[in-house]
Chains A and B, each alone.
Chain A
């Protein structure tokens, strides 16, 4: 069976697809690709059906080898230096990886997450309807490690119609749109969110991005919010006042007030912020 052999990984390398919608009553969140637009693009390039499983590679460092067949691949998202069989290739291109040939991703110049789609999708068994690794819930395939062999699936949706698309670039300090509420009245200064640049803290991950630089002023830090449903992009303020923007593996419900929510489209850009990057916000 055609497969990818994993020779090396850098940052976390996770199998991701479109996630697990509709399971919140048993506490299972959606998860899925953090940057959905780059994920969708990678699948479209290789002619996959929407929702096919891909690799989400954090800060590059992945090296894989085609085994027992030719594997068609495309790399999107964070613009990593790509080599195929030792030759430089662009991201956004459709590449044939012949048996024994290696694909290597370097460290991206900007952005955080790259998506590696293979034609046919990854043939890993779904858990509760999805192949996504939910890092908070511990559902789905374990993060990839050297020595793993990932089968290539055989479900294709379309021909491969283009050779390449332009590589993505992520400029400094993007400004993301916010909708105020639902709990903006729990802080004295919700407007402070848009008044400064925030720095992405080192302990940010797929569960949440911690924003450093200032603290929001809770009207009553001892007041308790009954737990309520959450979505990716929600900006929670814990009692310390340091905001956390929820990512794709956020808890289904949470008990800290959400003072604003990033516009859904802009959460894909959020997923490309790396620790130390700065980000601004503007009211939608």
Chain B
């Protein structure tokens, strides 16, 4: 575990893997009196960004995080943690039309060919590791490492809503039009985000996801 500087109002905790991040974020959210020091926690793939409340000195926050044993790379798996079963009852099926502009390139990058990419993407079981990027966007981790591809070198200024992409170890669905650097392999009509729906996000952290051909 490392504590990295992030401006004058926040610290970035760097952890071993996504499971450690989820456990750490849970521990921080549940820690008594930490809410007096912290006004936001942002989990990522390997990190948790911890923002101090106005007027709270970063040295104080750093000391609390280090001495409180709140942050560790080898957490006890909480029984109800989204990444460790028991909450995974929510299953979401997302129908996809696999005609994305980067499908052929992903086929080359992975060596699977376009058809192989589709077979692997629909064959994998995905889970929502954390949220971010945009409302309703879930970072999905799968069980097929062959699908790992780099982001595009230059992000697109506009990616259409419903675009299904790959980047690094993750897959995801753009909930609305936005700039983006992921490799786009297909698209879906599923409403990933509706602020008038409860809950507004289709993908809650911990949910299981299957992609199927539309």
Contacts and interface: CB of A to CB of B under 8 A. Distances in A.
B14 to A, nearest CB: 8
A239 B153 contact: yes
A24 B132 contact: yes
A60 interface: no
A254 B139 CA distance: 11
Contacts of B10: 231, 261
B12 A228 contact: yes
A62 B174 CA distance: 34
A138 interface: yes
Contacts of B178: 136, 251
Given A25-B205, A26-B200, A284 B8 contact: yes
A22 B41 CA distance: 8
Interface in A259-284: 261-264, 284
Contacts of A222: 150
B44 A226 contact: yes
B40 A24 contact: yes
Contacts of A139: 135, 195
A258 interface: yes
Interface residues of A, number: 45
Interface stretch (B47-55, B87-95, B97-105, B116-124): B47-55
B49 A229 contact: yes
Contacts of A22: 39-40
Nearest to A28: B135
A28 B47 CA distance: 18
Contacts of B138: 27
Query: B-side binding surface: helix, strand, loop or mixed?
Result: strand
Given A222-B150, A234-B7, A263-B7, A227 B40 contact: no
A268 to B, nearest CB: 13
Contacts of A226: 44-47, 168-169
Given A27-B201, A253-B44, A261-B7, A224 B134 contact: no
A69 interface: no
Nearest to A266: B8
A143 to B, nearest CB: 16
Interface residues of B, number: 52
A57 to B, nearest CB: 24
B55 to A, nearest CB: 12
Nearest to B44: A228
B145 interface: no
B5 A180 contact: yes
B4 A224 contact: no
B8 A227 contact: no
A255 interface: yes
B137 interface: yes
Given A26-B136, A255-B168, A181 B44 contact: no
B42 to A, nearest CB: 3
B4 A181 contact: yes
Interface string A230-248: 1101100011100000000
B43 interface: yes
A252 interface: yes
A167 interface: no
Contacts of B139: 227, 253
Interface in B1-45: 4-10, 12, 14, 39-45
A202 interface: no
18 contacts: A21-B40, A22-B40, A24-B132, A26-B131, A26-B135, A26-B201, A182-B14, A227-B133, A228-B45, A229-B12, A229-B42, A230-B49, A231-B7, A239-B154, A240-B154, A255-B168, A261-B7, A264-B9
The 4 A-B pairs with the shortest beta carbon distances in the complex, nearest first, are A229-B42, A229-B49, A261-B7, A253-B132
